[in-house]
Chains A and B, each alone.
Chain A
Amino acid sequence: MPDPGPTTAPQASMDEIIEDLKKGIDVTSIDENLKLTPSQRFAKFISFMTFLEGVRKAGQKARGEA
């Protein structure tokens, strides 16, 4: 009797997954960032992280966890 082979679908390779993920990335934000200097990008990153922290704290407060 012939070997039925693997019973599960073959896993996608890392390259296939990465190429697929690229389709979902908003390149306009990449292009905006590329117009900035490294210092400006870092400042924007810190500002974004500060915003995220503020949202996280607000969520905790709303849930009565703060």
Chain B
Amino acid sequence: MTDYRGLLETLAKSQVEFIIVGGIAAAFHGSARSTNDVDVVYRRTPENMRRVASALEPIHPRLRGAPKEIPFLFDAKTIQRGLNFTLSTDLGDIDLLGQVTGGGSYDDLLSHSTVTEVLGISCRCVDIETLIALKRAAGRRKDFEAIAELELIRDRKPGAP
């Protein structure tokens, strides 16, 4: 099983700048749905890409689903050359996104996120309105139920109109 807390702690300990999106963000906002991976949008500055690479190195990141014999070096150069990575690690699966459909980059999402303490880890999480917009922009049928639930959560939150 994915060590959700462990993955977030790994990034946070190395002071990686990232914003939680996807199913974990949905759980943060009150969703009762399950998810198998951690989705984060990371900041694409040279310093932060170095932090991402060194944070994940001890937990052996590899391309999810790729044959083991295919060599894969996940360093700052690899991150620089790529953008979005679907990885498996010793702690479980993580999607590292340089850009997300409908939301753009880390810097675009920054003002639509808040810092919060999750099980003792300080993390930045996208707000519910933006999370809904991201899922709507992705337009995947499998997300429709998640969108329905998130919109109900938004409308039932105290203070909702």
- Chain A positions near chain B (C-beta within 8 angstroms): 14, 17-19, 21-22, 25, 27, 29-31, 33-34, 36, 38-39, 41-43, 45-46, 48-50, 52-53
| Chain A contacts for B158, CB-based, 8 A | 34
> Interface SS of chain A: helix, strand, loop or mixed?
helix
| Chain B contacts for A19, CB-based, 8 A | 148
- Chain B positions near chain A (C-beta within 8 angstroms): 1-2, 4-5, 24, 27-32, 34, 116-120, 125, 136, 139, 144-145, 147-149, 151-153, 156-158
Residue in A18, A33, A52, A53 with the greatest tally of chain B CB atoms within 10 Å: A18
Shortest distance in angstroms between A64's beta carbon and chain B's nearest beta carbon? 21
Give the number of residue pairs across the A-B interface with Cβ within 8 Å.
Answer: 75
Shortest distance in angstroms between A18's beta carbon and chain B's nearest beta carbon? 5
| Chain B contacts for A39, CB-based, 8 A | 117-120
Contact between A38 and B118, CB atoms less than 8 A apart: yes
- Give the CA-CA distance A15 to B21 in the complex, in Å: 22
- Give the CA-CA distance A25 to B146 in the complex, in Å: 10
Contact of B152 among A22, A41, A50, A53 (CB under 8 A): A22
- Give the CA-CA distance A60 to B71 in the complex, in Å: 31
| Contact A22-B148, Cβ < 8 Å, known A41-B28, A42-B28, A53-B1 | yes
Contact between B153 and A30, CB atoms less than 8 A apart: yes
Residue on B nearest A40 in the bound complex, by CB: B119
Contact of A25 among B28, B118, B139, B149 (CB under 8 A): B149
- Give the CA-CA distance A15 to B13 in the complex, in Å: 41
Shortest distance in angstroms between B149's beta carbon and chain A's nearest beta carbon? 6
Residue on A nearest B141 in the bound complex, by CB: A17
Shortest distance in angstroms between B132's beta carbon and chain A's nearest beta carbon? 10
Contact between A33 and B31, CB atoms less than 8 A apart: yes
- Give the CA-CA distance A34 to B144 in the complex, in Å: 21
- A21-B144, A22-B148, A25-B148 are known; give 14 further A-B pairs, CB within 8 A: A14-B139, A14-B144, A17-B144, A18-B147, A21-B148, A27-B156, A30-B30, A30-B156, A38-B28, A38-B116, A38-B117, A41-B29, A42-B24, A42-B27
